[in-house]
Amino acid sequence: MAIQVILVPAGAEHQAVVRGLKGVPEAPPVVSVPAGPAAFCAFLASWEGRSRFADREILLMGLGGSLSTHHSVGDAILLGQVWNDVGDEPQCFQSDRALTHTLTQRLNAPIGMGVTCDRVITTVAEKQRLGDRYQAAVVDMESAVLLDAMPQAKIALLRVISDDCSHDLPDISRAIGPDGSLRPKILARSFLKRPIAALNFISNSLQGLKTLEQVTPTLFK
């Protein structure tokens, strides 16, 4: 099964995937999407490619947070199912089994449960609660939105861990605006309040981005 389009959160994640695809012949288009469920949902509602790829193979990839001690920074994991924690009634969605199985064989990466939230999860305690509630391994802000919005598409979900479940992050939950854009001033203030946590966050993010770039060409071998 051939991937027809790749969706990646805008910014450093998108740039890492584009770099990884250099030299890959006939690589699929890479579409930059906004981060966060509200902004991503709005994007999908107006995306010109939505009808074109409505029943095609779509890969959503990017960074994610670990909710399990089994997954460390730099690990790649495919999501077989994803809970949507946004809203009053949690729902569970299934990714495409055949495409997910193909990619897990190419990457030699595990398949796990994911959960989509409406903010960055920054504390160890909250990660533990999420992991226990949903038996999930990874948290992100987009996967369930895509599965819900495009039920006929053949969707695979790939996340690379950029923060583990044993360290608190700086409080960057408000650093991503409702439109999915980064708020640099809020991010900077959060970093200044917890400089050591900020340094760890930056280092782990860079490691995650490096892995994201490295695994991208492997998807097409």
CATH number reported for the structural domain that contains residue 114 in this entry: 3.40.50.1580
Q: How confident is the model at residue 42 (pLDDT cuts 50, 70, 90)?
A: very high
Separation of alpha carbons 92 and 27, rounded Å: 31
Quick: pLDDT tens for 172-196.
Answer: 667 676 766 677 777 777 777 778 8
Q: How confident is the model at residue 23 (pLDDT cuts 50, 70, 90)?
A: confident
Separation of alpha carbons 103 and 71, rounded Å: 18
Q: How many domains, the chain?
A: 1
Q: How confident is the model at residue 1 (pLDDT cuts 50, 70, 90)?
A: low
Q: How confident is the model at residue 120 (pLDDT cuts 50, 70, 90)?
A: confident
Biggest CA-to-CA distance, the chain: 47
Instruction: Identify the domain containing residue 192 by its residue range.
Output: 5-218
| 217 pLDDT above the threshold of 70 | yes
* Distance in angstroms between the alpha carbons of the first and the last residue of the chain: 12
